[in-house]
């Protein structure tokens, strides 16, 4: 095997889950941190900004504007920073991610008095039971090694009545859209991502991780099993992404 083939095989194995996934995700996202934001906006044609705003609105933070919120798998803190700038928000956001270079790449996006970056695994959040007024994760939940355990961990830290919002890529259902999506996601995006980031496997991992992630209905069922009520989801941009919401009773 060539180096390129070995890296692609590693990405495929990580996307499928198992023991290799945690180390691969932390190492790879640490390596692409310097170019992560620029490539995200470029490869999504800036649509990701609008998706994040919709997800933040779904959080219903106005119920507790001075509360503590969790940005799970926070990456470069885009969501945390956006929430901190929202008019009327008076609380704090704990930006939790286990890839420290990603958090460092996002430093300066918001005052440290409002956004608190914390190096932490999604399976072991540094918050007390019922401490958080809400939680959100954008394009990160598919990277955790144990989805059900992470859902239960979020449920643990949420206060009664608090909302949990998941923004994640999905596979479009319309055949024409799905064909175009697969061509871009599997052929175009990995090549551009590798060229601009200098990392061969990171953007090969992305489409594979989406393909291995549960579809919308199954994710909603697993949120229910983790203890969330009022679970629902809405598609975005013809099914390219979806926002799932749930509430802790």
Query: What residue ranges define each of the domains in the chain, with the CATH number in brackets?
Result: 1-249 (3.40.50.150)
Decide which of 142 and 45 is more confident.
142
| Amino acid 55: pLDDT | 98
In which band, very low, low, confident or very high, does the pLDDT at 7 lie, cut at 50, 70 and 90?
Answer: low
Report pTM. 0.95
Coil, strand, or helix at residue 102?
helix
Dihedral (C-alpha) 81, 86, 91, 95: value to the nearest 10 degrees? -20
In which band, very low, low, confident or very high, does the pLDDT at 3 lie, cut at 50, 70 and 90?
Answer: very low
Nearest Cα to 146, choosing from 38, 229, 226? 226
Tokens found for residue 136: 């959100």
CA distance 132 to 93: 9
Query: Taking a C-beta distance cutoff of 8 angstroms, is the pair 241, 52 a contact?
Result: no
**C-beta pairs of 234-239 under 8 Å, 24+ apart in sequence:** 235/170, 236/51, 236/54, 237/47, 237/51, 238/172, 238/174, 238/177, 239/170, 239/171, 239/172, 239/173, 239/174, 239/177, 239/178
Mean pLDDT for the chain? Answer: 94
CA distance 43 to 234: 22
| Amino acid 149: pLDDT | 98
Tokens found for residue 8: 């692609």
131-158 mean pLDDT:
97
**HSE-CB for 32 with a 13 A CA cutoff:** 25
């Amino acid at each position: 095997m060539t180096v390129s083939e070995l890296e692609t095989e590693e990405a495929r194995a990580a996307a499928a889950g198992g023991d290799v996934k945690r180390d691969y995700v932390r190492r790879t996202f640490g390596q692409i941190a310097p170019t992560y934001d620029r490539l995200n906006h470029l490869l999504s044609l800036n649509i990701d900004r609008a998706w994040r705003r919709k997800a933040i609105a779904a959080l219903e933070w106005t119920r507790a504007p001075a509360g503590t919120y969790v940005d799970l798998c926070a990456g470069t803190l885009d969501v945390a920073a956006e929430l901190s700038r929202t008019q009327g928000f008076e609380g704090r956001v704990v930006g939790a991610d286990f890839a420290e270079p990603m958090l460092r790449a996002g430093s300066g996006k918001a005052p440290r008095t409002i956004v608190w970056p914390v190096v932490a695994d999604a399976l072991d959040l540094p918050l007390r039971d019922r401490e958080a007024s809400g939680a959100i994760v954008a394009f990160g939940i598919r990277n955790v090694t144990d989805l059900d355990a992470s859902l239960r961990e979020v449920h643990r830290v949420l206060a009664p009545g608090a909302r949990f919002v998941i923004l994640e890529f999905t596979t479009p259902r319309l055949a024409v859209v799905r064909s175009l999506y697969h061509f871009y996601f599997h052929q175009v995006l990995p090549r551009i991502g590798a060229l601009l980031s200098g990392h061969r496997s990171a953007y090969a991992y992305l489409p594979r991780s989406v393909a291995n992630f549960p579809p919308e209905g199954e994710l909603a069922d697993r949120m229910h099993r983790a203890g969330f009520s009022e679970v629902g989801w809405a598609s975005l941009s013809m099914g390219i992404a979806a926002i799932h919401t749930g509430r802790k009773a």
